[in-house]
Amino acid sequence: MKKRKHWLRSGAALMAAGWVMLLTPAPSAFAGTTVSAPTQTTNLGGKTYYEITSVGQLEYIDEHQTSTWLSRNYLLMSNIDLSGYNWVPFGSSSISFTGTFDGGGYTISHVTINNKTFYTGFFGYILKAGTIENVGLTSVNVAGTGYVGGLVGESFGSITNAYVSGSVKSTGSNVPAGGLVGMNYGSITNAFAIGSVRGGSASNAGGLVGDNESSISNAYFTGSVSVGSGAKAGVVAYNHGSVSDSYTNVSPLSAYNVKGWSSVTGSSVQSLSNMELQSTYGSGWDFTTSATVGIPSPKTFPTNLNSVTVSGTTGAAITKGNKITYKYLENTIGTITLSDSSGHSQNVSVSPGQSTVTITNGAFQGLTLHYTDHNNNQIYANTITITGPSWGIRSGSTTPYLLGFKPSLTVNPLAPTTYGHSAAKDTLSVTSSLVDGSIGEPITMKYDIFNHSNVSVASLTSTVYATGGAQSINYPISLAGLAAGTYTLHVSAKDTYNTAVYATQQSFSIEPTLSGLSLNQGTLSSPFASGTTSYTDSVAYSVSSITVTPTVGDPGDTVKVDGNTVASGSTSGSIPLTVGSNPITVVVIAKDGTTTKTYTVDVNRAPASSNANLSGLTLSSGSLSPTFTSGTTSYAASVANSVSSITVIPTVSDNTAAVTVNGKSVTSGSASGPVALTVGSNPILVVVTAQDGTTTNTYTVDVNRAKSSNANLSGLTLSNGSLSPTFASGTTSYTASVANSVSSITVTPTVSDNTAAVTVNGKSLTSGSASGPVALTVGSNTISIVVTAQDGVTQKTYTLKVSRAVGHTVTYNGNGSTSGTVPTDSNIYANGSLARVLGNASNLTKTGYTFAGWNTKADGTGTGYATGSTLTIGTTNVMLYAQWRVDPSVSTSPSLPNVLEGTSYSQKLQASGGMSPYTFSIADGSLPNGLTLQSDGGLVGTPQQSGTFHFTVQIKGHTGTTTTKQMSLYVIPTAPTGYLKTTSTKQVVGNSGGTLTAKGNHTTATLVIVSGTFKNPLQMDITTGTVPSNLVPSGWNMVAAYGVNFDRNDTPTHPLSFTLLNAGITPQSKVYKIVNGKLIPVTATVTKGKAVITFTTDPDFVVLQPKPKPVPQATKPVTGFPAFPWAAGGLLSTLTGGLVLWWQRRKKTLE
């Protein structure tokens, strides 16, 4: 399997460390750590990664676990130490990790988690889209309730090239825990875990994975696994998936495999010593040392280089051919690096079974040996001190040379020139003077070039041999590939024994250049060449500005156009041009900011044109006279009257000139807008303005438009009637008919050409407007309409004959009226038409009579008409006469006599005037109960009510005429015909709500207990009659008197309500109580036919009514009023004089 070489940086020493760790409680955050979001990004394999370089950036993501941050890709750029931090797992079941976390081969150490929840690990929960690769977690201490893993609590994603070392613990029940992953639904490849794993009760604990539902390959675990109760295993406790090429030193490898749903292949439990041997592992493991591939080798145990020897004589120099011998373990795979104080170094890759390396890179002085294992972990370093000899001998030579001489070096100054990338400037010639007394000793000449930031950009070496005297060394250096800018040349010389000597540094510059230069107007005077710096360009006067597009030779260079920075390959801002010379400078600036090169372009702008001539001039109608020539400026043209507008097409001689037609700009060679033409002369001005803006030339065209000869009408209408035939412009004779009522008419003619004039019967009017009224006589009326064309000569006459019909009138006659006026009908009616008969709206009257309509004859023997009826007009005028009826009158003998209540009554009302028979009825007021007015005037019946009754009688004659008469009838009261009787027969104690009701003599009396309770039953005494005049106020009569009596043994302190219903009661009635023979007013609610009294004592009540009008032959009331006796008894007294006072006392228990 191929892996990146650097994917793990530690882990080799973990199994040998014995798992001894000192852990302390971690705070919730780093003290003094600067927390900031990672912003630097890099692109790997088409994906964007956020680079994590510090603890603070990792903490920021941990504190901002949103869907945004948990879906991004991250690349670890250095080892991270989380000491002192209580880590919150990345992702949860609600917001999961779905990005990629690439550890870059670095480690995260001291991960401490102490959760009381599920899904605990450095990553709590990752979904299928999540990927974790190339990362190691060391010295972890992870504890959670369930689904606990050192790297991931629960994983649906991909885990590759990852390992964990430390302690993992689950405290929950029936939940999985694993050193790497608690619950695995994804894939795990090339991974291992080292340390201790402990699960809770009834749980699954695996050294690598607690519960596997998917795949595990190329993995191992070393350490210990324990569980409260349940399953435990070295790789996976509960396997519902596949396990391949995986190993552990804890048995069993898998505690429970689901039959039919799981597999374990190429995997086994091994001893710790066997796990250190390559032969233990299957073919799926890669132990090669390819320079381009890194592998997750489990062989990360330390190598003990406990002895190093150098072949050859003791104290001799280590030179080419000498061997270094070392002792190693079987799994030694890595690199040996040799270095000394003189700068010599040699890297040697070794392989199993190899115990020596041979020096191939010169001699070493003060040798230091470094060994690094396969994972770049430095294992051993040993310094060997070598005493240098006095003599040396060059390979292939038998002559020794003395090593005690040291070289000296000088470099001649470089030529004072600027270098570039052209053929003549791209080589640096360096001349040095070298002196070394060790004749024949090889001298290494080194040439280093540093840029303006003192960064080495080129390093070259050559070997010369010392001659013992001064040696001149010429060395050419190609500058190809170096960017423009300022550089420093460092020249050094080194022999085989001494440290290098350096000559004085030399400085030189490589000029920046353009690789391209273009303009948006004109053309450079010669094709652009990087070495050519001066150019010219010519543009027309119309070009008032120009832009320049420069492209630099080196991407890091900048460029300015006329002092303004322009991006390479981009267009500069607009540069204004004046007439004549316009020099433009383009300066290229190297990356060092000081080395520059200037290019110039001189742009020449031509002067403006003064040509203001036309080369052509045409019209849309008519022809120019004379024929157009450029030098002729005045022309004439004629068009018909039908041409109401014209367009002009001017063409300028110089297309830089501008042209207007009647002051409006026109494009040369294009038509102007329409120019309206009036009849007669129409001068049109065409003005040409040269490019210089001052020279002008005016051309004049006078267009003559002829007058119109159109004398037609386009329309003719009348205010009344219709034309016959229908109007047509070519038809000149018409007729029309109107009713007799139409005494005048107006004519509205409309001309076809609005320049024409029109008259109606010789009177001018505006086209489309109505004429003045033309009077019409009965019969034929001729109207003449004359149209005169604009030319004043052409005329056309239209003739109209209007026929007005004959008419008749309707006249009204008062026929003996004594006042008022007859109605007037001003209409004129044609034969056979209908006229509406008018009413008597003007109060036409005749004394002693009533208006009864109209008739064609005065004596009423003709045809009669009621108001609003219709009358057919014949061939003559019509006269209508008013009809009158004698008013009836009513007589009695001479007025209605009084009647005693309860006695029979009959009177006959008489009427005269009008037409009999008559019908009588009551129009207003009412009769006493028992009396009826018959339709023949008979007033009959037996009155059941007393008092004065006012009413209005309506008398209607046979023809419908009516009259009214107001009348009065007085009914004398009589003694009661019976006593009041109660309607209740049940006696109960008098409680609130109890009611007693009695009726008699046209009265209903109701007694109600409003509230409270009476100890004894209540009694009610009721009397009716008339109060003597000495107690009744002047102008009043009594309606009725009533008494109420309580039992003597009960105190009347509870409120009672007494309601009287009597038709004689009116809103004007008053209620009194009798106290010591006097009437005292009582507050009561009195409405029509009803009185309601509330009281708490034993009063006697009297209801008085205003007196009616005096009744003829009435007897003066008797004076004096007896006291109301309150003992049981019968009739008390009968008063004389026709006014009788009655009362009756009855006792009844109120319930």
DSSP 419: B
Cα dihedral 1024/1027/1032/1034 (nearest 10): 100
Burial tier of 133 (Cβ tally within 10 Å: 0-12, 13-18, 19+): buried
Q: What is the pLDDT of residues 198-221, one digit of tens each?
A: 999 999 999 999 999 999 998 889
Return the pLDDT at 400: 53
CATH 2.60.220 in the chain: give the residue spans.
Answer: 981-1144
Poorest-confidence range of 30-44, 56-70, 234-248? Answer: 30-44
Give the integer Cα–Cα distance in Å for 660 and 575: 31
- Average the pLDDT over 326-340 and give the result: 51
Residue 679 CA, chain-centre distance (Å), reads 62
Q: 1137, 1117 in Cβ contact below 8 A?
A: yes
Return the pLDDT at 356: 63
**992 CB contacts (<8 Å, ≥6 apart)?**
1009, 1010, 1011, 1012, 1013, 1054
Q: What is the pLDDT of residues 124-168, one digit of tens each?
A: 999 999 999 989 999 999 999 999 999 999 999 999 989 999 999
DSSP assignment string, 151-173:
SEEEESSEEEEEEEEEEEEE-SS
Neighbours of 211 (CB within 10 A): 27
Report which residue type is found at 920.
F
Sorting pLDDT into bands at 50, 70 and 90, what band is 33?
confident
Choose the most confident range, by mean pLDDT, from 276-290, 393-407, 555-569.
555-569
For the chain, helix (H) and strand (E) counts, in that order, are: 1, 96
Q: Pick the residue with more confidence: 285 or 989?
A: 285
Poorest-confidence range of 329-338, 488-497, 1061-1070? Answer: 329-338
**45 CB contacts (<8 Å, ≥6 apart)?**
none
Poorest-confidence range of 43-47, 324-328, 795-799? Answer: 324-328
Q: Pick the residue with more confidence: 1109 or 251?
A: 251
Is 378 in a helix, a strand, or coil?
Answer: strand
Sorting pLDDT into bands at 50, 70 and 90, what band is 300?
very low
pLDDT for residue 847 is more than 50: yes
CATH 2.160.20.110 in the chain: give the residue spans.
Answer: 40-280
Return the pLDDT at 469: 73
Return the pLDDT at 1030: 63
Q: Two tokens at 580? A: 């004549």
Rg (CA), the chain: 69
CATH 2.60.40.10 in the chain: give the residue spans.
Answer: 391-510, 889-972
CATH topology classification for 981-1144: Chondroitinase Ac; Chain A, domain 3 (2.60.220)
Report which residue type is found at 398.
T
Q: 963, 915 in Cβ contact below 8 A?
A: no
- Average the pLDDT over 631-640 and give the result: 95
Report which residue type is found at 780.
S
Sign of the C-alpha dihedral, residues 1046, 1048, 1050, 1051?
A: positive
- Average the pLDDT over 39-64 and give the result: 91
Scanning 526-583, the segments in alpha helix (DSSP H) are none
pLDDT for residue 9 is more than 50: no
Give the containing element (helix H, strand E) for 59: helix 55-63
pLDDT for residue 641 is more than 60: yes
CATH topology classification for 889-972: Immunoglobulin-like (2.60.40)
CATH of 40-280, one of 2.160.20.110, 2.60.40.420, 1.10.3720.10, 3.30.230.80: 2.160.20.110
- Average the pLDDT over 34-49 and give the result: 88
pLDDT for residue 20 is more than 70: no
Q: What is the pLDDT of residues 817-841, one digit of tens each?
A: 999 999 998 888 888 889 999 988 8
CA distances for 840 relative to 99, 404, 868, 870, angstroms: 107, 163, 11, 15
β-pairing, 187-199 with 158-170?
Answer: parallel
Is 832 in a helix, a strand, or coil?
Answer: coil
Give the integer Cα–Cα distance in Å for 51 and 74: 6
**1044 CB contacts (<8 Å, ≥6 apart)?**
1007, 1020, 1021, 1056, 1058, 1095, 1098, 1099, 1100, 1101
Return the pLDDT at 771: 96
CA distances for 818 relative to 815, 839, 844, 966, angstroms: 9, 17, 8, 27
Percent share of the chain, pLDDT over 90: 46
Q: Pick the residue with more confidence: 1082 or 209?
A: 209
Sorting pLDDT into bands at 50, 70 and 90, what band is 260?
confident
| 713-804 carries CATH number 2.40.30 | no
| Mean pLDDT over the full length of the chain | 79
Give the integer Cα–Cα distance in Å for 386 and 851: 165
pLDDT for residue 520 is more than 90: yes
Give the containing element (helix H, strand E) for 1005: strand 1003-1009
Sorting pLDDT into bands at 50, 70 and 90, what band is 259?
confident
Q: What is the pLDDT of residues 983-1022, one digit of tens each?
A: 333 333 355 566 767 665 567 777 777 666 665 556 555 5
CA distances for 1075 relative to 642, 1021, 1100, 1130, angstroms: 119, 16, 8, 22
pLDDT for residue 28 is more than 60: no
- Average the pLDDT over 795-819 and give the result: 91
Q: 179, 207 in Cβ contact below 8 A?
A: yes
Q: What is the pLDDT of residues 747-789, one digit of tens each?
A: 999 999 999 999 999 999 999 999 999 999 988 999 999 999 9
Whose CA is closest to 280, among 263, 294, 301, 262? 301
Return the pLDDT at 299: 31
CATH class of 391-510: mainly beta
Sorting pLDDT into bands at 50, 70 and 90, what band is 283?
low
Sorting pLDDT into bands at 50, 70 and 90, what band is 258?
confident
Return the pLDDT at 354: 55
Return the pLDDT at 503: 82
pLDDT for residue 18 is more than 50: no
CATH for 514-605 is 2.60.40
CATH class of 308-384: mainly beta
Beta strands in 709-818 (DSSP E): 713-718, 733-738, 744-745, 747-751, 757-760, 763-765, 774-775, 779-788, 795-804, 810-813
Return the pLDDT at 105: 77
